[in-house]
Amino acid sequence: MTTSRLHAADITIGYDGRSISQQLSVEIPADSFTVIIGPNACGKSTLLRALSRLIAPSAGRVILDGADILSYKTKEVSRRLGLLPQSSLAPDGITVADLVARGRAPHQGFLRQWSRDDERAVAAAMRVTSTTDLSARLVDELSGGQRQRVWVALALAQETDLLLLDEPTTFLDIAHQIDLLELFTDLHEQGRTLVAVLHDLNQAARYGTHLIAMRDGEVVATGAPEEVITEELVEHVFGLRCRVVPDPVAGTPQVVPLGRERGRTSPVPAPAHV
Ligand SMILES: Nc1ncnc2c1ncn2[C@@H]1O[C@H](COP(=O)(O)OP(=O)(O)O)[C@@H](O)[C@H]1O
Ligand SMILES: [Mg+2]
């Protein structure tokens, strides 16, 4: 039996009485690097919000480490689980160093002030996200990609062994995307459980150990990348005809779109030489 530290059991979630997912059950296998895929607006962020207690289900339960997530104190949840939201607004005029330091708030209390441990965690989080050189800069004045790395640093500084990341590679150029995904792989190999929403199916297949494919608020497939990323699944979930070939570097499934004009069985024409 798979163990899971986090799962949703028959949850109904949504906004203002409008449900996005009904009776949804999702399991995040312990020690996995789980990647959630699915088209825009299918409910990925809503699910992550429920899994991290930002929204409460109107039915069903989210179970974190054996207990209903709603039964924990807020700080206790933040010591067990970190969330990188899809979009966040930094307080006006805050520097990078001060924003990342906020990741340590769950570890502080009335009697427990800023410590060496906090200093070390912040420095480490900034080092691995290559944001150390930005520490004195104002967050408002960074590029989208720099800002994204600062938010990742904040989530890492929290030092939770469960990390939920909503589109962490948005705004990043391809080299920074790969840097970050490899950092997540390192964290995963060091024993953390990660859940990330990614739009790039090839990256999902290459870096994820467990995939969850969603459509219209429902989970339509779960499993290893080789089981989930198939031509049928991509067409069913995204309405996109494609070929799935082995990634030439990693051997994992690689999605090659056929484009609008080509049927599923037509060969991909060789490039014309001029
Ligand atoms: N704060 C909100 N209030 C009302 N509706 C929302 C809110 N956030 C998302 N939605 C709606 O919920 C649906 C699912 O959104 P979301 O979970 O953000 O999708 P995804 O992350 O898969 O793109 C969409 O129809 C979206 O418009
Ligand atoms: Mg989203």
Instruction: Report pLDDT digits (tens) over 50-60.
Output: 999 999 999 99
Contacts by residues 48-56 (CB-CB < 8 Å, ≥ 24 positions apart): 48/83, 48/164, 48/166, 48/195, 48/197, 49/13, 50/8, 50/11, 50/13, 51/6, 51/8, 51/26, 51/164, 51/195, 52/77, 52/81, 52/83, 52/164, 53/77, 54/83, 54/85, 55/13, 55/15
123-135 pLDDT per residue, tens? 999 999 999 999 9
Q: What is the pTM of this model?
A: 0.91
Q: Give nearest CA residue, ligand 1 atom 5.
A: 15
The length of the chain in residues reads: 274
145-190 pLDDT per residue, tens? 999 999 999 999 999 999 999 999 988 999 999 999 999 999 999 9
Res 1: pLDDT: 46
109-121 pLDDT per residue, tens? 766 788 899 999 9
- Protein residues with CB under 6 Å of any ligand 1 atom: 15, 20, 38, 40-46
Res 271: pLDDT: 67
Q: Which atom of ligand 1 is nearest to the CA of 14?
A: 12
Whole-number percent of the chain with pLDDT over 70: 93
Res 140: pLDDT: 94
Average pLDDT, the chain: 92
Res 87: pLDDT: 85
Ligand 2 centroid, distance to 151 Cα (angstroms):
16
For strand 193-197 and strand 162-166, is the pairing parallel, antiparallel, or unpaired?
A: parallel
Most ligand 1 atoms within 8 A of CB, residue of 11, 20, 58, 165 to mutate: 20
Residues with C-beta atoms within 5 A of ion ligand 2? 44-45, 86
Structural domains in the chain plus CATH codes: 1-81+160-230 (3.40.50.300), 91-159 (no CATH)
pLDDT band at 263 (very low <50, low <70, confident <90, very high): low
